[in-house]
Structure 1
Amino acid sequence: MAEQRVIYDSPSRPPDESLHWKRVLGDSIPKEQELFSTHEELIVAFQSDVYSFNSCTKKESYIKIAFWSCIIGYCEALSTHKDEGRRYSIYPVPLAGIRRLVDEFVELVHSGSAGKQAVSNSVHRSTVQTVSNSIWKRAQNKSQMKDELHANSLYICLCGDLDNKSLDCFGAALLTSMGMNILGFGSLLTLSEDHAYESHYEGDADEETSAAVITDGTVSSDSKAPTYSKRATCEVAIPGNTKESQSKRGREIAATFADLKSTITPETSWLYMADNAVVCDTPGMVLAAMLGNVNCDVEKVKKTSNNDGKPQVVSSALCKIKRDMLWILYDGGHMTKFPFALMELGECEEHFGIERGMKWVEVGDLIRNQDEDENKLGVQTWVLWNEKLFLDAINVSRTAYNDAQVYPYLYAGHYHKDAGRKSPSDEYRLVEALRLYSEASRVASKYKYETKDCMQLMKHMTTVSSLIMKDFLLCPSAGHDNKAVRVWVHRENAVAAATFVLAFYDSLLFWEEKEETNFVEILGLSHKHFLGKLFQYFALDVRVDALAEVYKTEMQHTAHSVITKEEMLYFRQPRSKRLAQNSLLIAALLKEKIVVKEIDIALPSVGSRQRKRARNNQT
Structure 2
Amino acid sequence: MSTVTRSASASPCMALNGIIDASLFPLKSTSDVVNLFRRALTSAIEPDLTLLSIVVGYIELSLTTGEAAQAAQAAQAALGNSSDVIMGNSVPFPVVTHELIAGLYKKFQTILSVVDKPKPHRQATRDIIKKVSDVIWNSLIRSSYKDRAHLQNLYSYLSGNKLDCFGVALATTAGCQLLGYRDVRLAISEDHAWVMFGQKRVESIEVTWHGKGSEDKRGQDIGAGIESGSWLYLGGLAVVCERGMEVAAICVALNISLSANSDCVEVAELQQQLLWLLYDLGHLKRYPMALGLLGELEEINRTHRSISCEQLFREAIEASRSYYHNHHVYPHIFQGNYYNRLLKYREAFAAWANAADVIRLYTYQCRDDEEIYKELLDIANELIPYVMKTESSGHSARSILRDAEVFANLLRFYDGICQWEEDSLTPILHIGWAKPLVNNITKFDYDIRSQVVIKLPEDLEAEEVAKKAAAAAAVAAAAAAAEEGNNNNNNTVVKKDEKPKSELPTTLADLTAACGEKILNPDFLLQGGGQPFADQKQQATVETETANSNNTDKEATTTTTTTTSNGGSAAQSPPTEAEHKEAKLEENNTRSSGTSNNVEQATPIVDDYDPFEIMLKRPVITLHSQKMKGLKDLLLAEKLNTHAISLQVTAQSVASRKVRGAAVDSSRQPATISATITAIASTEVVGGAGGGGGGSAASASSGAGDSIAASRPKRTRRE
C-alpha distance in structure 2 between counterparts of 1:239 and 1:273, whole Å: 15
1:591 to 599, 624, 639: 639
| Cα-to-partner distance string for 1:347-406 (whole Å, 9 max, x where unaligned) | 1111211142xx3xxxxxxxxxxxxxxxxxxxxxxxx53211111111111111011111
What is the aligned partner in structure 1 of residue 54 from structure 2? 70
* Structure with greater strand percent: 1
* Within-5 A mapping of 1:229-248: 231-238=202-209, 248=217
What amino acid does structure 2 have at the position aligned with 1:48? R
Is 1:549 aligned with 2:472? no
Does the 8 A contact of 2:631 with 2:648 survive in 1?
A: no
What is the aligned partner in structure 1 of residue 118 from structure 2? 116
Is 1:519 aligned with 2:427? yes
Note the residue ranges of structure 1 that are not aligned, 5 or more in a row: 1-13, 15-30, 205-227, 258-263, 301-311, 360-383, 421-428, 477-483, 559-563
The DSSP-based 3-state class of the residue aligned with 2:263 is strand
1:574 to 612, 623, 627: 623
Sort the Cα spacing of 1:527 and 1:507 in 2 relative to 1 into closer, same or farther, 3 A. Answer: closer
* Within-5 A mapping of 1:483-494: 485=393, 487=395, 490-491=398-399, 494=402
RMSD: 3.8
* Within-5 A mapping of 1:72-91: 72-81=56-65, 83=70, 84-85=73-74, 89=91, 91=93
Does the 8 A contact of 1:140 with 1:157 survive in 2?
A: no
Q: Following TM superposition, by how much is the alpha carbon of 1:525 offset from its aligned partner in structure 2, in angstroms?
A: 3.2
What is the aligned partner in structure 1 of residue 37 from structure 2? 46
1:297 to 230, 233, 257: 257
Does the 8 A contact of 1:266 with 1:272 survive in 2?
A: no
C-alpha distance in structure 1 between counterparts of 2:235 and 2:648, whole Å: 37
* Within-5 A mapping of 1:452-491: 452-469=367-384, 471-475=386-390, 485=393, 487=395, 490-491=398-399
What amino acid does structure 2 have at the position aligned with 1:45? L
C-alpha distance in structure 2 between counterparts of 1:89 and 1:565, whole Å: 49
What amino acid does structure 2 have at the position aligned with 1:435? A
What amino acid does structure 2 have at the position aligned with 1:531? L
Does the 8 A contact of 2:206 with 2:221 survive in 1?
A: yes
Sort the Cα spacing of 1:159 and 1:494 in 2 relative to 1 into closer, same or farther, 3 A. Answer: farther
The DSSP-based 3-state class of the residue aligned with 2:452 is helix
What is the aligned partner in structure 1 of residue 152 from structure 2? 152
C-alpha distance in structure 1 between counterparts of 2:51 and 2:163, whole Å: 17
Is 1:184 aligned with 2:89? no
Does the 8 A contact of 2:434 with 2:646 survive in 1?
A: no
Q: Following TM superposition, by how much is the alpha carbon of 1:119 offset from its aligned partner in structure 2, in angstroms?
A: 7.2
Does the 8 A contact of 1:397 with 1:404 survive in 2?
A: yes
What amino acid does structure 1 have at the position aligned with 2:406? A
The DSSP-based 3-state class of the residue aligned with 1:35 is coil
What amino acid does structure 1 have at the position aligned with 2:622? Q
Is 1:250 aligned with 2:219? yes
What is the aligned partner in structure 2 of residue 127 from structure 1? 128
Does the 8 A contact of 1:342 with 1:390 survive in 2?
A: yes
The DSSP-based 3-state class of the residue aligned with 1:189 is strand
Q: TM-score, normalised by structure 2?
A: 0.59
1:444 to 351, 359, 364: 359
C-alpha distance in structure 2 between counterparts of 1:40 and 1:488, whole Å: 51
Does the 8 A contact of 2:346 with 2:400 survive in 1?
A: no
What amino acid does structure 2 have at the position aligned with 1:193? E
C-alpha distance in structure 2 between counterparts of 1:291 and 1:488, whole Å: 46
Sort the Cα spacing of 1:129 and 1:576 in 2 relative to 1 into closer, same or farther, 3 A. Answer: closer
Does the 8 A contact of 1:343 with 1:393 survive in 2?
A: yes
C-alpha distance in structure 2 between counterparts of 1:529 and 1:130, whole Å: 51
C-alpha distance in structure 2 between counterparts of 1:191 and 1:545, whole Å: 43
C-alpha distance in structure 1 between counterparts of 2:397 and 2:677, whole Å: 43
C-alpha distance in structure 1 between counterparts of 2:646 and 2:384, whole Å: 22
What is the aligned partner in structure 1 of residue 238 from structure 2? 277
Does the 8 A contact of 1:473 with 1:486 survive in 2?
A: no
What is the aligned partner in structure 2 of residue 319 from structure 1? 268
C-alpha distance in structure 1 between counterparts of 2:426 and 2:566, whole Å: 33
Q: How many positions carry a matched residue from both structures?
A: 473
Does the 8 A contact of 2:206 with 2:219 survive in 1?
A: yes
* Within-5 A mapping of 1:498-537: 498-512=407-421, 514-515=422-423, 519-520=427-428, 523-527=429-433, 530-536=436-442
Sort the Cα spacing of 1:578 and 1:235 in 2 relative to 1 into closer, same or farther, 3 A. Answer: closer
The DSSP-based 3-state class of the residue aligned with 1:344 is helix
Sort the Cα spacing of 1:333 and 1:198 in 2 relative to 1 into closer, same or farther, 3 A. Answer: same
The DSSP-based 3-state class of the residue aligned with 1:572 is strand
Does the 8 A contact of 2:365 with 2:424 survive in 1?
A: no
Sort the Cα spacing of 1:582 and 1:285 in 2 relative to 1 into closer, same or farther, 3 A. Answer: closer
Sort the Cα spacing of 1:157 and 1:504 in 2 relative to 1 into closer, same or farther, 3 A. Answer: same
Q: Following TM superposition, by how much is the alpha carbon of 1:334 offset from its aligned partner in structure 2, in angstroms?
A: 0.8
The DSSP-based 3-state class of the residue aligned with 1:126 is helix
Sort the Cα spacing of 1:98 and 1:236 in 2 relative to 1 into closer, same or farther, 3 A. Answer: same
Does the 8 A contact of 1:319 with 1:352 survive in 2?
A: no
The DSSP-based 3-state class of the residue aligned with 1:190 is strand
Does the 8 A contact of 1:503 with 1:571 survive in 2?
A: no
1:36 to 9, 27, 30: 27
Note the residue ranges of structure 2 that are not aligned, 5 or more in a row: 2-21, 76-88, 455-514, 518-564, 569-607, 655-668, 684-695, 701-719
Sort the Cα spacing of 1:591 and 1:517 in 2 relative to 1 into closer, same or farther, 3 A. Answer: farther
Q: Following TM superposition, by how much is the alpha carbon of 1:612 offset from its aligned partner in structure 2, in angstroms?
A: 7.0
1:398 to 318, 321, 325: 321
* Structure with greater helix percent: 2
Residues 547-556 or 384-393, more deviating: 547-556
Does the 8 A contact of 2:364 with 2:424 survive in 1?
A: no
C-alpha distance in structure 2 between counterparts of 1:77 and 1:295, whole Å: 9
Does the 8 A contact of 1:472 with 1:486 survive in 2?
A: no
Does the 8 A contact of 1:131 with 1:176 survive in 2?
A: yes
Q: Following TM superposition, by how much is the alpha carbon of 1:319 offset from its aligned partner in structure 2, in angstroms?
A: 0.8
Q: Following TM superposition, by how much is the alpha carbon of 1:413 offset from its aligned partner in structure 2, in angstroms?
A: 0.9
Q: Following TM superposition, by how much is the alpha carbon of 1:139 offset from its aligned partner in structure 2, in angstroms?
A: 3.1
What is the aligned partner in structure 2 of residue 423 from structure 1? none
2:229 to 264, 268, 284: 268
C-alpha distance in structure 2 between counterparts of 1:150 and 1:606, whole Å: 50
C-alpha distance in structure 1 between counterparts of 2:394 and 2:227, whole Å: 43
What is the aligned partner in structure 2 of residue 419 from structure 1? 342
